[in-house]
Chain A
Amino acid sequence: MIWLEGVSYLRAGSPALADLTLGVSRGELVVVQGPTGSGKSSLLAVAAGFREPDSGAVWIAERNIAGLQASSLPYVRRNVGYLPPLPLLIPDENVLENIMLALAVRGQPIDSAEADARESLAMVADSAWENRLARSLSTGQQRLVALARALVGPPPLVVVDEPAAGMGGDDREGIVRALVWARERGCAVLCATSDPSFAQMLVDAGGRRVNLEGGRIVGAPAIGLVPTPVDFPDMDEPENADLAEAIRPSDRSSSGEESA
């Protein structure tokens, strides 16, 4: 589960998130809907560990990552499938390699990473793209490839920002199917969109809608299902020593511990 508690975040001096509390459980799909400037991207960046909140706590796998040292954050990020608002790919690499990189960082063997990357690509886009260089793709195609990269694995937590921006009907349906696929595999899925119709598609597929305005959640409960821990790697296993070290309790911020 990811659990944001009393999170506030200032963007260039203006409040982007104001005392926001939101939880996403394992196997839950949450759709954050709101107009441009409502704080969706800030919320997702904070949830994925790419921005540090000015106050509040961000709990992932029962650990507060808000107070982590910068050097520890990569061990958390590699367990989050993050699609930023602008899809970032390596332009001189082919599509398959771009997707495989997410698994490379997690240390998955090359052969199985290749198979998983193909599966993820086939789920959201055209398998025939796999050998195309990323720079030869349109922006929409790049977004789909970046989504496939966020879903590959899949990681315990998937955070996707405007995955359907500029997409047509078939692509939107494919994206919904892919996010549902991740949810069914036990991922906690957090998706942001400013498109009400796309948000409705996700709600129809079993998602929970959360409306965001002015950095605050309005008109809906912040917590849907009874919170259950996300199936993060077992911290007692030797191969997860890096992650365990990264989010060790001593790194918790005092505010986070108090609110816990």
Chain B
Amino acid sequence: MTFAWILRRARRQAVSARRALWAAAGSFLVLGLVSGVAVLGLRATRGWMSTVGQGVHVIAFLRDDVQPDQAAQLVDLLRLRPGVSRVRLVEPAEALARLRDAARPLPAAGSWLDDLEPGYFPRSIEVALVASADLSQRATELSRRLRGLAAVADVDAMTDGVARLAAWVRFGQRLGWAVVLAAGIAALSFLVSTVLRGREARRRQAQVLVILGETAGNVSLPANIALAAAGLAGALAALVVLRIAWPTLLTAVERAMGIVPTPTGFFLGFWESAAGLLAAPLLGWMLGYLSTPVPGGVDA
């Protein structure tokens, strides 16, 4: 069978079995979405965990009139305190740089970021405590003591929020993996069952082609092509849907969790997209063999 004939057969099969082919493409779409969300979700939660892992539990904002040497003395005192793992003095310039980094990806971030000066930000001290079961209580106690100091204007005890966020992220990761796994298995099962449902109909077609002298490889070729095309279409659709929906979804989740939004350019890389666009047609091609039972002989 020439290439023109094989394409013609693939096209005619696609038309006659269009429902099954749409179902296959839909399954590939779901598989693509599941895989994409798994990769992107894993990357996002790693980013969140990294943020959480900074381990800043208390921030003390110093009064404007506190001199640098006084601030340094305070840092040294805090380091001596039991249960404190790390103390760091954050100068106004660094605080401004952090804000700029965090806010730059936001759509609302404009030139106002550039207009800000370090002078708007107070000098602060970040305190990380040694992890333990009573971390929250110790952070609260430290916050209370810091508020009593004349050099301290305000104290932000982040323990509760951070600990809660970390727990939620971990829970979300586990739940996400379970959902991803279940959705992947469901989509793959649906895809395989769709292909197998048409197997009996294609058995007759294979018998006819064998009678006519078609080689075993060419008998399944139209199905290989049709399912590979369905795979490619599904993967492309998944990529487009992810490209459009993922930033919105991610922003909504991060907003709900109170996290600084991840940059909107955060998406699948070139090689990740290419791997998906290659894997789906390849899987479709392999399923083409499964979909077409080629008889060894003809017992008409």
| B300 near A75: Cβ-Cβ < 8 Å | no
Q: Closest residue of chain B to A149, judged by CB?
A: B212
Q: How far is the CA of A139 from the CA of B269 in the complex (A)?
A: 58
Q: Which has the most chain B C-beta neighbours within 10 Å: A70, A78, A104?
A: A104
B201 touches A88 (CB 8 A): no
Q: Mark B17-60 against chain A: 1 for CB-CB distance below 8 A, else 0.
A: 10000000000000000000000000000000000000000000
The answer to whether A90 and B213 touch (CB under 8 A), given A51-B297, A105-B1, A110-B8, is no
Contact among A71, A84, A107 with B298 in the assembled complex (CB-CB below 8 Å): A84
> Is there an interface contact between A93 and B4, defined as CB atoms closer than 8 Å?
no
Q: Give the complex CA separation of A85 and B299 in angstroms.
A: 10
Q: Are A74 and B300 in contact (CB under 8 A)?
A: no
Contact of A77 among B1, B201, B213 (CB under 8 A): B213
- Interface size grouping (class) on chain A: 20 to 34
Q: Could you tell me the distance between the alpha carbons of A45 and B300 in the complex, rounded to whole angstroms?
A: 9
Q: B5: shortest Cβ distance to chain A, in Å?
A: 4
User: Are A88's CB and B211's CB within 8 A?
Assistant: yes
> B215 — nearest CB in chain A belongs to which residue?
A74
Closest to A86 in B: B300
Partner of B1, one of A89, A98, A107: A107
Please indicate the chain B residues that have their CB under 8 angstroms from the CB of A93 in the complex.
Answer: 12, 16
- Kindly state whether residue B210 has any CB partner on chain A within 8 Å: yes
A71→B210 CA distance, assembly (Å): 11
From B12, B17, B211, B213, give the contact of A75 (CB < 8 A).
B213
Indicate if the CB atoms of B213 and A105 lie closer than 8 Å. yes
B184-200: CB near A (< 8 Å → 1, else 0) gives 00000000000000000
User: Which of B201, B209, B211, B298 has the most A CB atoms < 10 Å from its CB?
Assistant: B211
Instruction: Provide the residues of chain A in CB contact with B298, threshold 8 Å.
Output: 45, 50, 84, 88
Q: Is the CB of A104 within 8 A of B9?
A: yes
In chain A, positions 92-131 with a C-beta closer than 8 Å to chain B are: 92-93, 97-98, 101-102, 104-107, 109-110
B205 within 8 A of A: yes
Fill in one digit per residue for A37-70: 1 if any B CB lies within 8 Å of its CB, else 0: 0000000010000110000000000000000001
Bound CA span A79–B205, Å:
19
Report if A76 contacts B (CB, 8 A).
yes
What is the bound-complex CA distance between A93 and B207, given in angstroms?
14
Q: Which residues of B contact A (CB under 8 A)?
A: 1-2, 4-5, 8-9, 12, 16-17, 201, 204-205, 207-216, 296-298, 300
Query: Could you list 6 further interchain pairs (A-B, Cβ under 8 angstroms) beyond the known A92-B17, A104-B8?
Result: A50-B300, A74-B216, A76-B213, A82-B211, A88-B204, A91-B201
Q: Could you list some 6 contacts between A and B, CB below 8 A?
A: A50-B298, A80-B213, A90-B204, A90-B208, A105-B209, A107-B5
